[in-house]
Structure 1
Amino acid sequence: MSNDIILRKLERLQTSAKPRVLDLFAGCGGLSLGFEAAGFEIRGAVEFDPEAAKSHGINFHNGAEEHSTPIDITKTSPTELCSQLELGTVSDAFDVVIGGPPCQAFARVGRSKLREIEEHPEAFIHDPRAQLYKKYLEYVDAFQPLAVLMENVPDILNHGGQNIAEETCEVLEAKGYICGYTLLNAAFYGVPQMRERMFLIAYRKEISSEVSFPKPTNWLVLPPGYEGSRSVALKTLRGRLDATHSYIEPPAALDDLPSVVTAKDALGDLPEINARELLATGAISRGARRFDTPVDYSTKKASAYADLMRNWPGHEAPTDGIRDHVIRFLPRDYELFSRMSQGDQYPEAYAHAVNMFKERLAAVQTNGKKLIEGTAEYKALWDSIVPPYDASKFPNKWRKMWDNQPARTLMAHLGKDGYSHIHYDSKQARTISVREAARLQSFPDGFRFSGTMNPAFKQIGNAVPPLLAKALAMHMMKTLKNKEKGASDES
């Protein structure tokens, strides 16, 4: 790696110039939004999904075609990317690379294989899952960033017996970086969602002699499912300390910090959508949900969090209202949602549905009509009320949110159904809207999602929460702007 290039980038950062970011596997831009808010320049992105790529272009480059076009990283070289985005010389194009290959990219790519990728670039040409990781390293080599941020699911710490984060650090350290990784939960950083992810930071050795992570700003006791999975992951690591020298303990959340942002803090000011009323009046039906009808905000008082979502600098709420506050058409289940209690999951929902069926059957019998079990009419009534899944096999398929807690993790599966996030308000009796999902991820109300409802849900579920990304980006900015090279950042 050229020392002249590194020195030029360092000298540039000692001025008022913003660090220039390349977001790989960018999605719609959760990481980009956090880095933009922390004072970085989002200069380019690589994203394969057409709708997500278009969203990124809309929100960070005013919809410019060259920034809104999907890019296949396996077929696009760094030189080609710079040419497409008109960025000039490859080595001078970016100061920071963020993002992370999908976890499938690491399957069966062992430690020795990771180390051999550069020496034998064609060795894994027939393993497409290795290609994403290989291209990621190719991009780091070509752009010679001063810093790298990678994000992935916690399982990457034990992916088929491999600790991919540790192995990635080994590769980056061989390239002249100092590297560290940890687990962070978004709820500790002001996000109304308990989302656990692995984050890895690397700096050029000319920048810093150590890696640290931002301290939490909010406090909560993680529920058993989250604390348990974190404990298992960390126990595995601590049992292999000789092979995990780059692991850093998550910064502690102290109980004197402000309490976490709750689902009600995040959603309580948004206009109510009473699904049963919409169904009764025919105002909701099957079909694609488009974002072409603005909805005025309710008159409810906005929480401090909701106010931030409305007034995020550069992504302020539209003056004519929000356009993506739309929900799924689930006529069978609206009444069932109203009966569920906060925290109920699928077994409880199924039990409620069976009781509803018994009530309806009794009403039919009272009116003098006999429905006999096993007949087509009996089955049709059952199917119109009771969901088809075995309650013993799908305990976590549904969940009604608590209003006084952060939401559970939003997944890309939201693009297929929203049963994992049923609104806490029984009056509204529905799953969350697109805008509510965005609020739970900490996307501001002025952030626009390309496409219709299902693609938007998928983009949101795949994203890194922007507020967590901002906390990481602000922490990294302090290190990058530190005038004494190699001094550690204690904040």
Structure 2
Amino acid sequence: MATSTAIRQKLARLRGGGKVRVLDLFSGCGGLSLGFHAVGCEIVAAVEHDPDAAKSHGLNFHAGSPVHMEPRDISSTPPANLTKALGLGHHSLAFDVVIGGPPCQAFARVGRSKLREVADHPEAFRHDPRARLYIEYLDYVEECAPLAVLMENVPDVLNHGGHNIAEEISEVLESRGYRCGYTLLNAARYGVPQMRERMFLIAYRKELQQTVEFPKPTHWVDLPAGYEGSRAVALKLLSRDLFSESGHYVPAPDAGRNLKPAVTAKQAIGDLPTIYARKLLADGLLTRGARRFNVPIAFNRPRSISRYAEEMRSWPGFPAKAALYDHVIRYLPRDYELFSRLRPGDQYPQAYQCALKMFEEKLAQLRKKKAAPESGTAAWNRLRDSIVPPYDPDKFPNKWRKMEEDWPARTLMAHLGKDSYSHIHYDSDQARTISVREAARLQSFPDGFVFSGTMNPAFRQIGNAVPPLLAKRLAEMLVSRMRAGVAAKEATNELAEAVG
């Protein structure tokens, strides 16, 4: 079907009051989907190769439909096959919006002139497996002819191997009939209790006659030096004016200090049930092994609850249940006592020095009993290893961090399940790293959202996701602009008919 015909039919359907239909590529468990769902869109389909993430998406948005929980590799799932499997009709008519965040590693050494070839000569890139996923994403946009596109990626995509990939992608989309713009947004400035910086690219079909803008911040936070430094590196190519021909970069909306302060870690997770790791360990209730989501923890309402926590408990379509099943933590017996001694904001060098002090204290106790091992012996080494972490503090300064209760959390990473020391709970009495549900809260997933799999896969899904609350702000802007474009197009057609 011709693109122009598909676009006309989609515009007509939306003029008739139809819901905006969304396809989520590289969907993960559905952070972006959740934002669009929250503003009334229909999440029609998703493509995700990770089995646990695909199952989570199907559980939450398609009531556990087996066909929607099936993992799919975009490289072997062309649009026609996807819509046929899901019974959605012709792929060019099935979706109004395509969203997602394809990996960016493919283009470390690919120049803009080469990327332009994708539009007309995609086979030129297929010899490079690193480029394949971005090619498939662009192919989906071309074949599905959405009215709008939303793409998310890391800030480095603006300066990846000396290339501004976001600008290059914008040029390709523009050549295919879209108006594009991209920027950097920090989630903490949109009500998410996490300082997460990401690139977002929006594109509208030219028929909608809309310019790209991004939602205004709702909260203020002074970003730490590391975040400002990363942003400066990402924007370095822009400062060189390498892409002045088109200039699709849109400066981020101003986040004035007159806005309300960012949501803090305590406001985000302070109402969740306490988990006293040292007590559980002493009672034999915390042991090594996979953390499955099969033990309920009563989910009571404390006397006071933050507005943010209330929002997470009462998100439309995903309300909190009577019990939590994913409020589980890692088994780290060596470190619970050390966690309790760290101060808010302490990182690995401080933790290492604290552990050395604990080791000396233990040796002093044993010397009083005349039971201290000789320095350098196997027994001495075993005792030290039971207290002191093995990492070089000069090589891993940021490996650990104890959260501050009155500040948003630092960026959640996908490897949180295997290395959750980056988010040590601010409560020294609980003395532990954050739970799966706490990570979900910090990422703004509502309490009724279900994660498939065990602890580590759930942490990975959360760390890979776009914060749903930021996704919601973006969806509000994008859908509003789409509707305005449809209305304007209708008015123009009516005027043309009247004049004719």
TM bucket (normalised to shorter chain) is over 0.9
CA shift at 1:265, angstroms? 0.3
User: Which of 312, 317, 320 is equivalent to 1:314?
Assistant: 317
1:330 aligns with 2:353: no
In structure 1, C-alpha distance between the alignment counterparts of 2:436 and 2:239, rounded to whole Å: 40
Gaps of 5+ in 2: 492-500
Q: Is the 8 A contact 1:107 1:160 kept in 2?
A: yes
1:328–1:370: structure 2 CA closer, same or farther, 3 Å change rule? closer
Residue correspondence of structure 1 range 102-181 to structure 2 within 5 A: 102-181=103-182
More displaced 10-residue stretch of structure 1: 477-486 or 448-457: 477-486
More displaced 10-residue stretch of structure 1: 330-339 or 295-304: 295-304
Aligned equivalent of 2:36: 35
In structure 2, C-alpha distance between the alignment counterparts of 1:244 and 1:397, rounded to whole Å: 40
In structure 2, C-alpha distance between the alignment counterparts of 1:325 and 1:382, rounded to whole Å: 31
Structure 1 stretches of at least 4 aligned residues deviating more than 6 Å after TM superposition: none
More displaced 10-residue stretch of structure 1: 149-158 or 110-119: 110-119
User: Which of 349, 352, 355 is equivalent to 1:350?
Assistant: 352
Q: CA-to-partner distance for each residue in 1:460-481, whole Å, 9 max, x for gaps?
A: 0000000000000000111111
In structure 1, C-alpha distance between the alignment counterparts of 2:210 and 2:291, rounded to whole Å: 51
Aligned equivalent of 1:187: 188
Q: Is the 8 A contact 1:205 1:486 kept in 2?
A: no
In structure 2, C-alpha distance between the alignment counterparts of 1:189 and 1:9, rounded to whole Å: 31
CA shift at 1:244, angstroms? 5.9
| Secondary structure of the structure 2 residue equivalent to 1:122 | helix
Gaps of 5+ in 1: none
CA shift at 1:208, angstroms? 2.5
Aligned equivalent of 2:79: 78
Aligned equivalent of 1:87: 88
CA shift at 1:234, angstroms? 2.7
Q: Is the 8 A contact 2:210 2:481 kept in 1?
A: no
Aligned equivalent of 1:210: 211
Q: CA-to-partner distance for each residue in 1:162-184, whole Å, 9 max, x for gaps?
A: 10000000000000100000000
CA shift at 1:290, angstroms? 0.6
Q: How many residues align?
A: 486
| Secondary structure of the structure 1 residue equivalent to 2:12 | helix
TM score, norm. by length of structure 1 = 0.97
- Return the structure number with greater helix share: 2
In structure 1, C-alpha distance between the alignment counterparts of 2:385 and 2:31, rounded to whole Å: 40
RMSD of aligned residue pairs (Cα, Å):
1.3
| Amino acid aligned to 1:441 | Q
Q: Is the 8 A contact 1:399 1:422 kept in 2?
A: yes
Q: Is the 8 A contact 2:159 2:236 kept in 1?
A: no
Q: Is the 8 A contact 1:25 1:47 kept in 2?
A: yes
In structure 1, C-alpha distance between the alignment counterparts of 2:468 and 2:26, rounded to whole Å: 15
| Secondary structure of the structure 1 residue equivalent to 2:139 | helix
Q: CA-to-partner distance for each residue in 1:61-88, whole Å, 9 max, x for gaps?
A: 0010110000011011111001111101
CA shift at 1:134, angstroms? 1.1
Q: Is the 8 A contact 2:311 2:446 kept in 1?
A: yes
In structure 1, C-alpha distance between the alignment counterparts of 2:464 and 2:471, rounded to whole Å: 14
User: Which of 296, 304, 307 is equivalent to 1:304?
Assistant: 307
Q: Is the 8 A contact 1:13 1:480 kept in 2?
A: no
| Amino acid aligned to 1:177 | Y
TM score, norm. by length of structure 2 = 0.95
Aligned equivalent of 2:494: none
Q: CA-to-partner distance for each residue in 1:346-373, whole Å, 9 max, x for gaps?
A: 0000000000000000000100124211
| Amino acid aligned to 1:484 | A
| Secondary structure of the structure 2 residue equivalent to 1:242 | coil
User: Which of 426, 429, 432 is equivalent to 2:431?
Assistant: 429
Aligned equivalent of 1:250: 252
Q: Is the 8 A contact 1:107 1:130 kept in 2?
A: no
CA shift at 1:409, angstroms? 0.2
| Secondary structure of the structure 2 residue equivalent to 1:117 | helix
Aligned equivalent of 1:2: 3
In structure 2, C-alpha distance between the alignment counterparts of 1:54 and 1:421, rounded to whole Å: 26
User: Which of 437, 455, 458 is equivalent to 1:456?
Assistant: 458
1:352–1:486: structure 2 CA closer, same or farther, 3 Å change rule? farther
Q: Is the 8 A contact 1:346 1:396 kept in 2?
A: yes
Q: Is the 8 A contact 2:104 2:134 kept in 1?
A: no
In structure 2, C-alpha distance between the alignment counterparts of 1:215 and 1:14, rounded to whole Å: 27
Q: Is the 8 A contact 1:269 1:297 kept in 2?
A: no
Q: Is the 8 A contact 1:237 1:244 kept in 2?
A: no
CA shift at 1:38, angstroms? 1.2
